[in-house]
Structure 1
Amino acid sequence: MKNLALIFAVLFVITSCKNESKINLEDTQVESKKAEFSIVIHGGAGYINRESMSPEKEAEYTQKLEEAIKVGYNILKNGGTSLDAVEKTINVLEDSPLFNSGRGAVFTHEGRNEHDASIMDGKTLNAGASSGTQTVKNPINLARVVMDNSPHVMLSGRGAETFAEEQGLEIVNPSYFSTESKLKSLERVKNSEKDKVSVFYDPEIKNSKFGTVGCAALDKHGNLAAGTSTGGMTNKRWGRIGDSPIIGAGTYANNNTCAVSSTGWGEYFIRGLVAYDISALMDYKGLSLNEAAKEVIQNKLPKIGDGKGNGGIIAIDKNGNMVMEFNTPGMFRATMNDAGELYIGMYND
């Protein structure tokens, strides 16, 4: 019995040493993967495929995604904050008619362009958002000043525009946001209500519920931030608000876990609290960012609304690891890390 006890004791010590070595090794591996800074962006998820994309249009998207992410990358490289990188990167996308945000926002049923946006600071958990604005040139800037200069989290409509004017933000005539391509999309979606069959064949109609821009970043100070900006859903009515300005659904950032920006059919992202859910899975269940994003986007979200939970997210964790997870045929996206390596993608391949 004494010999048996001695054997068990030796085995226990050996096993303990192995476990300790394994833990230390894992800690080293995690530490070695930590990036000094990194940034990831999206320009909307949806029915994006090569068959419906001309080489010229693909080049336009590639150029604009690269231009946008390099703005944020340079801010981070020079020691700037993740909040500034997120805001200025989204500005580039908002100013482009290619995306459903700012200049290229889609039209409501009444023929207006209405914007929603949000931003969140992972260090303080402070956040700002706006919805239903029609005259603020860059809605993400309004979300930022709501966060920084007001006691509130979200402002809407005319009140939000008044605050924007008081804060000295650039105000434009609503006609600034009108683009011919988005107006044609509205007409096609309206016509599709009379001809249900066309919905299944027209990419513009299939994409009417999608389209948003967003950014998530980690800076040299170890702080995360995320922001999202959109024109919402083509043909939306009654002052509809999607997930983009909803903290926890369209945007979330927490230095302890990750920063997330969402894009997709907003009603289902709101119901699933998608951005926060990814952070919560990391926080409470110890999942990696990649594991949490896959669980939410590929498993949980599609089950909401009988398979209508379509879209994607971009996210970055506290170590600078980035994911771009989506369950649609495509998502405009790009990443840059502290080594200056650039990736740009559009399709689900």
Structure 2
Amino acid sequence: MIFRPLFAAAAIFLAGCQVSPVNAEPPEAPQWRLAIHGGAGVITRGSMTPEQEALYRAGLQEALEAGADVLRNGGSALDAAQAAVIPMENNPIFNAGKGAVFTAAGTHELDASIMEGSSRDAGAVAGVTIVKNPILAARAVMDKSEHVMFAGPGADAFAEAQGLETVPNTYFDTERRRKSLERVLETQSRTAADKHGTVGAVAIDADGNIAAATTTGGMTAKTAGRVGDSPLIGAATYAENGVCGVSATGHGEYFIRVGVAKTICDRVKLAGDSIGEAAEVALTEVADLGGDGGVVLIDGNGDVDFVFNSEGMYRGWIDASGSWTAIYGDETETEE
């Protein structure tokens, strides 16, 4: 059965969260689907020029198409999630690879994680400085080592040993991010945009396998060595077949303390919550502690939710019936 996922006619506010659900009846046979995010924060209409908005929508669509190409051709959810985030790592408008934010020391330290839901294998890297695409390093940790995470110089060395492309740390520089660093160092305060630059993807393939990937440059002007939630399995990334896949973006310290991704999947698995209900609970805990952000989710039926308690989140989904992208909190899609 071919269908277009049904979005609520207006943004739904529950426990301080904005929910844009894709609640569609699952097809009789598994159908592939992919959903992505490009960061959350104070993203309101008028906060960017039409040209900037067009760049973000184009960047989201490029990422969706890259992942969809894998799934259309019978590829795995794991490969699709990886393929979807690579264009965002390469796109300087996102905070992942090229265009990653600066540390307080004026350098770049990048984090990434990936997980697949059939065996719950996972890989992650933290604080890499020369790996062009950190998600490939995370995948290499998963596939080519007995470990789950490498950090710092050891992660860089492992990636080099696997033949991954490396670049000078200055490759990640952009003038926009340098100005953000200068502003934060001068004011000693961060805006939401300085905290919420993570990108990620979740996918389900035609065999019902679920995977998730998350990658980031971290927080503007972070202390060297700081690690947020993005490389931590169970905080920003989690996948379990028949249950859910999660990729998160937000103020990482709070997402770590709540264990957002695992909390969501456990509530789906053990309490019988829908992915949207479970995400509202987790993000309410984040808000109660003082943090904000969002998640993109897929459940075992292939249903998708985007749940966030920030003013906006770069996001989108794609399947055989079409695709959709959004930026602002009040963007919804109705049934055609």
Match of 1:41 among 36, 41, 44: 36
Q: What's 1:152 paired with? A: 147
Q: What's 1:21 paired with? A: none
Query: Given that residues 89 and 215 in structure 1 are in contact (C-alpha distance below 8 angstroms), is that contact kept between their aligned partners in structure 2?
Result: yes
Query: Given that residues 83 and 121 in structure 1 are in contact (C-alpha distance below 8 angstroms), is that contact kept between their aligned partners in structure 2?
Result: yes
Q: What's 1:321 paired with? A: 303
Q: Normalising to structure 2: TM-score of the pair?
A: 0.89
CA distance in 2, matches of 1:290, 1:268: 19
For residues 246-289 of structure 1, the C-alpha deviation after alignment (integer angstroms, 9 at most, x for no partner) is 00001000003100000000000000000010000011101111
Count, aligned residues: 307
Query: Given that residues 140 and 229 in structure 1 are in contact (C-alpha distance below 8 angstroms), is that contact kept between their aligned partners in structure 2?
Result: yes
3-state SS, counterpart of residue 234 of structure 1: coil
For residues 214-246 of structure 1, the C-alpha deviation after alignment (integer angstroms, 9 at most, x for no partner) is 000001111000000000000100410000000
The answer as to 2:316 corresponding to 1:334 is yes
Alignment map for 1:1-349 (pairs within 5 Å): 32=27, 35-193=30-188, 205-297=191-283, 299-304=284-289, 308-339=290-321, 341-349=322-330
CA distance in 2, matches of 1:46, 1:31: 31
Deviation at 1:33, TM superposition (A): 7.3
3-state SS, counterpart of residue 194 of structure 2: coil
CA distance in 2, matches of 1:233, 1:170: 24
Query: Given that residues 35 and 337 in structure 1 are in contact (C-alpha distance below 8 angstroms), is that contact kept between their aligned partners in structure 2?
Result: no
Q: Say which structure is richer in strand.
A: 2
For residues 300-342 of structure 1, the C-alpha deviation after alignment (integer angstroms, 9 at most, x for no partner) is 22112xxx22000001011110011100011000101232x21
CA distance in 2, matches of 1:143, 1:75: 19
Structure 1: which amino acid aligns with 2:31? E
Deviation at 1:32, TM superposition (A): 4.5
3-state SS, counterpart of residue 246 of structure 1: coil
CA distance in 1, matches of 2:25, 2:312: 30
Query: Given that residues 34 and 321 in structure 1 are in contact (C-alpha distance below 8 angstroms), is that contact kept between their aligned partners in structure 2?
Result: no
CA distance in 2, matches of 1:114, 1:34: 42
Segments of 4+ in structure 1 off by > 2 A?
Answer: 29-35
For residues 177-233 of structure 1, the C-alpha deviation after alignment (integer angstroms, 9 at most, x for no partner) is 01000000000011112xx6xx6xxxxx34211110000000111100000000000
Query: Given that residues 208 and 242 in structure 2 are in contact (C-alpha distance below 8 angstroms), is that contact kept between their aligned partners in structure 1?
Result: no
Identity level (%): 48
3-state SS, counterpart of residue 104 of structure 1: coil
Any gaps of 5 or more consecutive residues in structure 2? 1-23, 331-336
CA distance in 2, matches of 1:110, 1:319: 45
- Give 1 or 2 for the bigger CA radius of gyration: 1
Deviation at 1:124, TM superposition (A): 0.7
CA distance in 2, matches of 1:207, 1:146: 30
Q: Say which structure is richer in helix.
A: 1
3-state SS, counterpart of residue 310 of structure 2: coil
3-state SS, counterpart of residue 102 of structure 1: coil
Query: Given that residues 106 and 182 in structure 1 are in contact (C-alpha distance below 8 angstroms), is that contact kept between their aligned partners in structure 2?
Result: yes
Query: Given that residues 105 and 224 in structure 2 are in contact (C-alpha distance below 8 angstroms), is that contact kept between their aligned partners in structure 1?
Result: no
CA distance in 1, matches of 2:115, 2:199: 15
Structure 2: which amino acid aligns with 1:335? W
Deviation at 1:35, TM superposition (A): 4.9
For residues 31-85 of structure 1, the C-alpha deviation after alignment (integer angstroms, 9 at most, x for no partner) is 5477511000000001111221100000000111001101111210110011111
Query: What is the alpha-carbon root mean square deviation over aligned residues?
Result: 1.4
Query: Given that residues 35 and 321 in structure 1 are in contact (C-alpha distance below 8 angstroms), is that contact kept between their aligned partners in structure 2?
Result: no
3-state SS, counterpart of residue 51 of structure 1: coil
